């Protein structure tokens, strides 16, 4: 199993390792929920007293696996909900009015928060940090704007920038 060495008193010493389940992320050792093997002294003097790890019993291992399965199910449900939201937003088009000159150049610009505000007022809760613009929209016209709700959930929305109607 382990290698043997001799202590100062001449008694054989075996270097063993114990299995621990990490309760917290430990730099250079592992992430929370991982099972690691460490020397008994490191476990006894640092990891266990600090609450960074616990003994890797079968009950603890099963509890961690059950917790991981629950987290995976929650993540899958969240992605499913976000995908439905993305499908609904993808069918919608936003019309924004802006002041422009005769050539179609805007006096200001349309930013992500302007698009987010228009989508929110239409009933789609999309934050400005979910909208991916290459830069501000500075001219009249139709733009296809990317929306990323999650790393795996992306969609596009059409944004029409039209001149402000003159009030007579």
**Its pTM surpasses 0.95:** no
Query: 42 in a domain, yes or no?
Result: yes
**CA–CA gap between residue 108 and residue 128 (Å, rounded):** 18
Reduced to 3 states (helix: H, G, I; strand: E, B; else coil), residue 98 is strand
Domain-located, residue 97: yes
Q: What is the pLDDT of residues 103-148, one digit of tens each?
A: 999 999 999 999 999 999 999 999 999 999 998 999 999 999 999 9
Asked whether residue 14 carries a pLDDT value surpassing 70, the answer given is no
Contact 67, 33 (CB under 8 A): yes
Q: Which of 163, 156, 168 is nearest to 141 (CA)?
A: 163
Q: Identify whether the C-beta of residue 144 lies closer than 8 Å to the C-beta of residue 158.
A: yes
- Report the CATH number at residue 158: 3.10.430.100
Domain stop point among 63, 79, 95: 79
pLDDT at 1 over 70: no
Q: Helix, strand, or coil here: 127?
A: coil
**Domain, as residue range, for 22:** 13-79
Average pLDDT of the residues in 6-17: 60
**Phi then psi dihedrals of residue 61, to 5 deg:** -65, -40
pLDDT tens track for 151-160:
999 999 999 9
User: Do 90 and 121 sit in the same domain of this protein?
Assistant: yes
Which uninterrupted H or E stretch holds 52?
A: none
- Judge if 57 and 97 occupy the same domain: no
DSSP 30: B
């Amino acid at each position: 199993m382990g290698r043997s060495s001799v202590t100062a008193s001449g008694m054989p010493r075996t270097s063993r390792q114990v299995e621990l389940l990490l309760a917290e992320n430990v730099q250079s050792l592992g992430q929370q929920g991982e099972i690691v093997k460490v020397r008994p002294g490191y476990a006894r003097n640092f990891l266990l007293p600090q609450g960074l790890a616990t003994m890797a019993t079968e009950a603890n291992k099963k509890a961690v696996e059950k917790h991981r399965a629950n987290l995976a199910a929650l993540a899958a449900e969240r992605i499913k909900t976000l995908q439905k939201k993305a499908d609904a937003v993808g069918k919608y088009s936003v019309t924004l009015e802006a002041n422009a000159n005769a050539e179609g150049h805007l006096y200001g610009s349309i930013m992500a928060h302007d698009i987010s505000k228009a989508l929110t007022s239409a009933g789609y809760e999309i934050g400005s940090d979910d909208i991916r613009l290459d830069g501000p929209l500075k001219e009249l016209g139709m733009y296809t704007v990317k929306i990323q709700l999650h790393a795996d959930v992306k969609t596009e929305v059409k944004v029409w920038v039209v001149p402000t109607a003159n009030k007579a």
